[in-house]
Amino acid sequence: MGLTKQYLRYVASAVFGVIGSQKANIAYVTLRGGEKGRYIAAAACEHVFIWDVRKGEKVMILEGQKHEVTFLRPSPDGVSIAVGYEDGAVRIFSLLNGESNVSFNGHKSAVSIICYDELGARLVTGSKDTDVIVWDIINECGLYRLRGHKGLITQALFLKDKNLLVTSSKDSFVKWWDLDTQHCFKTIVGHRSEVQFWRHLVAPSCVGDGAAGPGEPLLTGSADSELRAWDITYLQEVKAEGEPEEKRGKIELVEDEDEGDQEGEADEGPEERILSCKKVGSILREARDRVVSLAADARTGVIACHGNDSILEVFRVLPEAEVQQKMKKKEKRARKKAARAQEETGEDAGELTVKRTLKDEITRLTHIKASAKIRWAECLSCPGGELKVALLLQNNTIETYSLKAASTTPTSNKTARLTLGGHRTDVRTLAFSSDNLAVLSASGDTIKVWNRATLQVIRTMACEYALCSLFVPGDRQIILGTKSGKLQIFELASGSLLETVDAHDGALWSLCLAPDQRGLVTGSADKTVKFWEFELIKDGEMSHKRLTVKHKRTLQLEEDVLCVKFSPDHRLLAVSLLDCTVKLFYTDTLKFFLSLYGHKLPVLCLDICHDSTLIATGSADRNVKIWGLDFGDCHRSMFAHDDSVMFLQFLPKTHLFFTAGKDKKIKQWDADKFEHIQTLEGHHREVWCLAVSPSGDHLVSASHDKSLRLWERTREPVILEEEREMEREAEFEESMSKGDIPVVPGEAPGEAAPAGKKTIETVKAAERIMEALELFKDENRKMEEHKYVCEAAGKQLPPPNPNPILVAFGNISPSRYVLDVIRKVRSSELEVSLLVLPFSYVPELLKLFNGYIQQGLEVELVCRCLFFLLRIHFGQISSNQMLLTVMDQLRTNTVAQVRQIRDVMGFNSAALQFLQREIESREEVTFFAEATGKLKERKRRRTKRERVVLTIA
């Protein structure tokens, strides 16, 4: 038997180079003992980075799995943060240790909005699948799903002190939901176009943390330059207090005089229920395009909004005292104007009435000009009346500003700018140093050199639009090929540009170092291949010499050159042309040797193996072809990617090679056996380039998602059959997640539906419950048979051996094992797992539940499962005569146990209150007040001391 070829697995090591992903928002967070407004959470592909904006450092990473983050929302207490992902999952991370213990899975597609209620006990999520789901965080389960929108959900807000929810969508509607009855009772239809194409459509003017209160207008942004204001009046309160409806609310707003159109009452029908929502005016923005995001701060009453540009407009809701003062001045001016008119005409103007408009309540503060287009804005009020504004820009940058919101003419000051950890534009070329320690990445404006071990930036240098790069032997200089056809030589020690050489008249697409390391070859769109040699020349009057390149030869071709590569033995030169062919020339004489044709589209990348026997080519036709260099015969053509193959490179001293494509994947291949070894998935956009370290132990890749990813070779072998099986399982899980939402039997589809969805985890949980019930039945059958045999023999025989699973769990009883299996099911997946469970297992489960409740085991969990099973199988259970006795016992035992638990909780609560009163009377101090006061005083002193230190510095 021959030796089996062993492949070693490559795994993801780190993600770097991305500061803030463009698909998600940013949010201010507070870490333990940290200063307010100092830390910002930003999505970084599938992870969440916590940035210290003062130091410009990454202080925490909340690690995701494989799907991209689409929304973030910190909890009201600041202890945790909810993160929504592209697959519809929501995970809650603790900001104390960075771990995630709670996860919800109910949406079919990307989560577009997350919002907490005022207490942080409930969570509402909206998605691209047009559904809104309300989750119970304490019980870690889904409450219900609300259907009614026909577009992406852009915002969802719990109303303050009311069990109501307001949601908005791209379908141009704003809906009001009664969460007690789980139905939509009002729809705002006053928008002429889609209500904000993205997120954060509806935002309260005076309330933070996503809660809107009575008497306060809601602001909506759409595709025009208007911010519409809607006044909310609760009708139930009107009837209770006996006040006329038109006098309810904190302020009386009327339409602006210049409002030429009336947009309706925002109701579906003439009859209003629960509340009245009427349009009272609008604020005109300076920008004319759509509202991208809208942020509000509760304490300062600041509203910030922006369009698809670099201007953030800041408005302020004036306090009632300032509004009254403003109205007095307005009345005074009106009286003077009326008196002047009366003197001129001599006629009495009658009773003077001054109307209060929205412009009297909301004033324009200032605008903030960012350095690039704004993707998201976040506001936070800090002590001293300071307002901090964080902006996520579309060029992979986060900027922070501060201003005094209470000032009449506030000016914004830029306080920080996070740019060092990433490129502003896509990285188009990568290179490894010869010692495997440094990684070069170059984009449209900058070059960055990274330390591979720490992933920190060593050097940042400005350059032209880079297309290719390499380290000069010795790793002291780097050479760049640019889009304008120039060669740029940089020195790493000083980070300076040594020389710019006008090498070509067109884009310089490819560079290749000569095997003897004495020069390089360049290929360009000007249809030439040029050979260069390294030289050391004196730099002016300086004594030391610097590196330069000297042109030696030129190879003129008939088509644009896309890629050039030397064979390792320096015998041949491979040139990829725009006519879809690869031509081979002798290096010494430049005579034509072979032409490789067969690709249907141009070859974008190629490489030659270490022994100069094989050449692999990757094309825009999505195929990879392997050719022999002896006769130019095509050994194999493989369909490699679902889109263009952008990069190809052999591993050193092997016939294994990696390809990267626009389908977001990196794949490893065997050029001898023509087999696909493994797929490296992680990037969320097109992969532009790839670099393999000289040792072959590391890979680094760059993508359109602004991220750089490092991959490491492990000692774990790759078994191809297992890889194919894992790929099939992944496809099955993906198809499972796209299945229909589970339907409760007997319930007609309507606005409300179950929150969870059927996933591979819920199916596995149901299978574990069924296996446990089967084990329970088998053990019971064995005990019955043993009892029968003992009775027949007339003596006591030794009991049968227990199941090995029960022995592994500590010789527990079969019924206790079933309870342990149910208890280990994730709380958010419990209902869907029981819904998947066939009814044939339900009778046995109900009998077990009766025993658990009698013994007082996990009463809350058992009651939750019991009530859900009764709800979904009511007809079959009630018609089953065998279950009547069990149900009667369950009714009695459940009520008794629940009453007993409630009594214990009430007794404990009363005892704690008694102890509190005893301690307060004995210590003569209010409970907890002393510690809180000391903590606030300590924080105030520390802040004052830090400010003094910063002033001195």
**Contacting residues for 653 by C-beta, under 8 A, at least 6 apart:** 610, 696
Helix axes 720-737, 760-793, angle to 10 degrees: 100
Token readout for 419 is: 């740019």
Which DSSP helix (H) or strand (E) runs through 166? strand 164-169
At 738 the pLDDT is: 63
Q: Give residue for tokens 């330069």.
A: 548
Distance CA 30, CA 52 (A): 10
Parallel/antiparallel/unpaired status of strands 603-608 and 614-619: antiparallel
Q: Which residues of the chain have pLDDT under 70?
A: 1-5, 190, 192-217, 236-272, 346-352, 540-543, 736-751, 924-936, 948-953
Whole-angstrom CA distances from 254 to 54, 222, 321, 359, 563 are 45, 21, 19, 10, 68
Q: Are 104 and 89 in contact (CB under 8 A)?
A: yes
**Contacting residues for 196 by C-beta, under 8 A, at least 6 apart:** 154, 168, 170, 220, 221, 222, 223, 290, 291, 292, 294
Q: Is the dihedral of CA 10, 13, 16, 20 positive or negative?
A: positive
263: left (phi over 0), alpha (psi -120 to 50) or beta: alpha
At 326 the pLDDT is: 83
If one counts every other C-beta atom within 10 angstroms of the C-beta of residue 747, the result is 12
Residues shown for the chain: 953
Q: Are 234 and 185 in contact (CB under 8 A)?
A: no
Residue 570 DSSP label? S
Q: Which residues pair with 43 in a beta bridge?
A: 48
Q: Are 702 and 689 in contact (CB under 8 A)?
A: yes
Q: Which amino acid is at 628?
A: G
Reduced to 3 states, what is the DSSP secondary structure of residue 710?
strand
Sheet holding 80-85, edge to edge: 69-74, 80-85, 89-94, 100-105
Reduced to 3 states, what is the DSSP secondary structure of residue 64?
coil
At 596 the pLDDT is: 92
At 667 the pLDDT is: 94
Q: 181 burial class (0-12, 13-18, 19+ CB within 10 angstroms)? A: exposed
Distance CA 621, CA 623 (A): 6
Distance CA 135, CA 137 (A): 6
Q: Where are the alpha helices (DSSP H) in 126-193?
A: none
Parallel/antiparallel/unpaired status of strands 429-432 and 438-442: antiparallel
Distance CA 833, CA 828 (A): 10
Q: Are 601 and 621 in contact (CB under 8 A)?
A: yes
Q: Which amino acid is at 755?
A: A
Q: Are 11 and 714 in contact (CB under 8 A)?
A: yes
Distance CA 35, CA 942 (A): 10
If one counts every other C-beta atom within 10 angstroms of the C-beta of residue 126, the result is 28
Distance CA 669, CA 679 (A): 9
Q: Which residues pair with 168 in a beta bridge?
A: 155, 174
Distance CA 754, CA 761 (A): 17
Q: Which of 273, 280, 265 has its CA nearest to residue 239? A: 273
Whole-angstrom CA distances from 942 to 30, 381, 946 are 16, 19, 6
Residue 490 DSSP label? E
Which DSSP helix (H) or strand (E) runs through 875? helix 874-878
**DSSP sequence for 611-668:** TSSEEEEEETTSEEEEEETTT--EEEEEE--SS-EEEEEEPTTSSEEEEEETTSEEEE
Q: Are 886 and 866 in contact (CB under 8 A)?
A: no
Residue 722: half-sphere exposure toward Cβ, Cα within 13 Å: 6
At 881 the pLDDT is: 83
Residue 17 DSSP label? B
Parallel/antiparallel/unpaired status of strands 211-212 and 153-159: parallel
Q: Give residue for tokens 């104007």.
A: 337
Q: Which of 573, 577, 635, 578 has its CA nearest to residue 608? A: 573
Q: Are 616 and 650 in contact (CB under 8 A)?
A: yes
Reduced to 3 states, what is the DSSP secondary structure of residue 808?
helix
If one counts every other C-beta atom within 10 angstroms of the C-beta of residue 65, the result is 11
Q: Give residue for tokens 């015998």.
A: 571
Distance CA 507, CA 468 (A): 10
b or e along 578-595 (b: 16 or more beta carbons within 10 Å of the residue's beta carbon)? eebbbbbbebeeeeebbe
**Contacting residues for 831 by C-beta, under 8 A, at least 6 apart:** 141, 142, 754, 756, 868
Reduced to 3 states, what is the DSSP secondary structure of residue 576?
strand
pLDDT tens figures, 470-509? 999 999 999 999 999 999 999 998 889 999 999 999 999 9
Q: Are 114 and 76 in contact (CB under 8 A)?
A: no
Whole-angstrom CA distances from 709 to 403, 553, 702, 704 are 37, 38, 7, 12
Whole-angstrom CA distances from 918 to 160, 801, 913, 923, 924 are 35, 57, 9, 9, 10
Distance CA 435, CA 223 (A): 54
At 928 the pLDDT is: 55
pLDDT tens figures, 274-324? 777 777 888 888 887 888 888 888 777 888 888 888 899 888 888 888 888
Residue 256 DSSP label? -
Which DSSP helix (H) or strand (E) runs through 823? helix 814-824
Q: Which amino acid is at 540?
A: G
SS (H, E, C) 426-440: CCCEEEECCCCCEEE
Q: Which residues pair with 254 in a beta bridge?
A: 357
Strands (E), 506-589: 508-513, 519-524, 528-538, 545-556, 561-566, 572-577, 582-586
Q: Are 433 and 474 in contact (CB under 8 A)?
A: no
Q: 79 burial class (0-12, 13-18, 19+ CB within 10 angstroms)? A: middle
CA 619 to chain centre: 33
